[in-house]
Structure 1
Amino acid sequence: MLDFYDKRLQQLNTLIEITGIINSSLDTSVIRKKVIEAATRLLDTEAGSLLLLDQKTGELFFEVALGEKGDKLKPVRLQKGVGIAGWVAQHGKPVITNDASSEPRFFKGADNISGFITKNMVCVPVRTKEKIIGVLQAINKNNGVFEYDDMVILYAFANQVAIAIENARLYQDSITDGLTGLFHHKYFELRLKEELDRSKRYKHPLTLIMIDIDFFKKVNDTYGHLAGDKVLEGIAALLKENTRLSDIVARYGGEEFAVVLPHISYKNALIVGERLRKSVEDTDFQGVRVTISIGMGYFNGDNIDFAYKEFVDLTDKALYKAKNSGRNNVTLIECK
């Protein structure tokens, strides 16, 4: 009996500790990864997964899957009502089973794709005040079987997860552009100032890129504003795909974008700029083709008096030169 209570006390202490860690972050990707790590640790399981609802299609997709062969589940999508996860998402009620193979609601498709064998599991809804946003699963208990208290603990944890995800989403909405999902101008200014201060303090290089879509007004006039929006969304996606996680990508305003590249050499900065230009030139945006002009400002970190406004003006000058040199090209100016 003492072992049982010791185990539950340990779980509750872990729940409190992990909840604090999750709520300390506003990065949705960090939160989601920590959620699964926490769930498997909390209930001592072989695997775990967080499935979120696609608000457009109503399907569940594996946002994070931890455990052997979990990466193979990324393409899997489940309709509401399909499988235990789909049933929980549809009905908003938790499910616990210690014999998955004999559970009528169990969907074998995920195991068939991944090669994983689900023996037992507990699945609970992840619910905000307004709606269910996904489900949280703990799979294959390492020692023994799942008990009712395991479900209660995971359910309590899922409630905290929902709050953390919602808070992070609200924060992300407050700093990103609604159309492209990139950082908006105000937040970009803040981050650029931070990176410039860091560059001067540690003497590392910093590059600022400004991008303008060539003749974008003609796109709107010829194809309409919906087509123009698709172009903006497509270019935003290309900028994200062709930069590093550490880079800062923003919609600067209208048809202009901006990128900050920390810790990058003069030569490599030019390579990035050309890669961005070429990726847009080579892309068909649902029947619309465009090019971009790119201005780049390069700071080597040595001039401690180099100011934010100077950096922006320098890069803007480079963009002006690119546009006045036939467009669809890259111009880089180094801070002297």
Structure 2
Amino acid sequence: MAQTTAPAVSAAPRPDPALAELLQSVVDTARAIFGAQASSILLLETAADELVFEAVSGQGQEFLVGRRFPAGRGIAGWVAASGEPMVVDDLHDSASFDRDIAESTGYVPNALMAAPLLHGGRVLGVLEVLDPSPQARSGLPELDLLSLFARQAAVALHVLITHTPLRPAPDATPDDPSRAELLRLLSEARRLLEQ
């Protein structure tokens, strides 16, 4: 099912520290759960037709945040365009894998899992997990868990994009839909982890 892309947005140069911490928490947790060498969140910037590294855990975390590449290239580009998750166990045999982009990041993975960051029918970006352990990419429950983390990140990105600078509105309530969605996703993640 094709998804629409988000309206033109820019990677926030100084995101709210709590939201940046949440995005970092998503990539750190995804990396730990999947036993991966790296994990990242890439934000789709439609005006420039680029994907921008917003949070990185593991390989490349020292220098990749803020780095850009064309949105139509590679597996992340395919996931952003299609709105569908993807697992590739052997990137050497994948026509979708863009080795030039991987080499430019300083790390060329052998396997990859990616899920779109979807919010309100829009693709905001992509959550990637690089070189997950073989057991962590073995079936649909693992892909479902990655998609769940991607939805959590999408809620955080939605808040970042629509509430920058993030200040509670005078009439804000604890029942804010974004907050409720985030709490629901955290509860669902806990349930999947306990299975």
Q: TM above 0.5, one fold?
A: yes
Amino acid at match of 1:53: L
Corresponding residue of 2:191:
none
Greater displacement, 26-35 / 85-94: 26-35
In the aligned structure 1, how far is the partner of 2:131 from the partner of 2:31?
9
Alpha-carbon distance in 2 for matches of 1:28, 1:170: 12
CA drift at 1:169: 4.1
Structure showing the higher helix proportion among its residues = 1
Q: Distance in 1 between matches of 2:19 and 2:75?
A: 25
Matching residue of 2:126 = 135
2:133 counterpart of 1:161:
no
Deviation at 1:86, TM superposition (A): 0.4
Percent identity of equivalent pairs:
24
**Max radius of gyration: which structure?**
1
Structure 2 equivalent of residue 39 of structure 1: 30
Q: Aligned with 2:137: secondary structure?
A: coil
d(CA) in 1 for partners of 2:156 and 2:103? 32
Q: Quick one: distance in 2 between partners of 1:26 and 1:72?
A: 18
- Cα deviation for residue 88 of structure 1 reads 0.5
Deviation (angstroms), 1:75: 5.9
Q: Does 1:115 align with 2:103?
A: no
Deviation of the 1:162 alpha carbon: 1.3
Amino acid paired to 1:156: L
**1:62 touches 1:76 (CA, 8 Å); kept in 2?**
yes
CA positional deviation for 1:160: 2.1
**1:99 pairs with 2:99:** no
Distance in 1 of aligned mates of 2:17 and 2:161 = 8
The answer to whether the 8 A contact 2:69-2:101 is kept is no
C-alpha deviation, 1:91, in angstroms: 1.0
**Other structure's SS at 2:104 match:** helix
Runs of 4+ in 1 over 6 A off after TM superposition: none
Q: Pick the aligned partner of 1:70 from 61, 70, 73.
A: 61
- Are 1:45 and 1:141, in contact at CA under 8 Å, matched by a contact in 2? yes
Deviations 1:268-315 (A, max 9, x none): xxxxxxxxxxxxxxxxxxxxxxxxxxxxxxxxxxxxxxxxxxxxxxxx
Match of 2:193 in 1: none
Matches within 5 A, 1:8-19: none
Displacement after TM superposition at 1:84 (Å) = 0.1
1:259-278 superposed matches below 5 A: none
SS at match of 1:41: helix
Which consecutive unaligned segments of at least 5 residues does structure 1 have? Answer: 1-24, 177-185, 187-336
The alpha-carbon deviation at position 173 of structure 1 amounts to 4.3
Equivalent residues of 1:78, 1:86 under 8 A apart: no
Structure 1 residues 168 and 78: CA distance shift in structure 2, 3 A: closer
User: Root-mean-square deviation (CA), in Å?
Assistant: 2.5
Partner Cα separation in structure 1 for residue 68 and residue 162 of structure 2:
25
Give the distance between the partners of 1:93 and 1:166, measured in 2 at CA.
Answer: 19
State how many pairs are aligned. 153
CA–CA separation in structure 2 for the residues paired with 1:26 and 1:75: 16
Please report the TM-score for the alignment, with normalisation by the length of structure 1. 0.41
Q: Which residue identity lines up with residue 28 of structure 1 in the other structure?
A: L
1:50 to 41, 50, 70: 41
SS at match of 1:71: coil
Task: Quote the offset at 1:150 in angstroms.
Answer: 1.4
Q: Per-residue CA shift, 1:81-131, capped at 9, x if unaligned?
A: 210000110111111100012110001123312332301111000011041
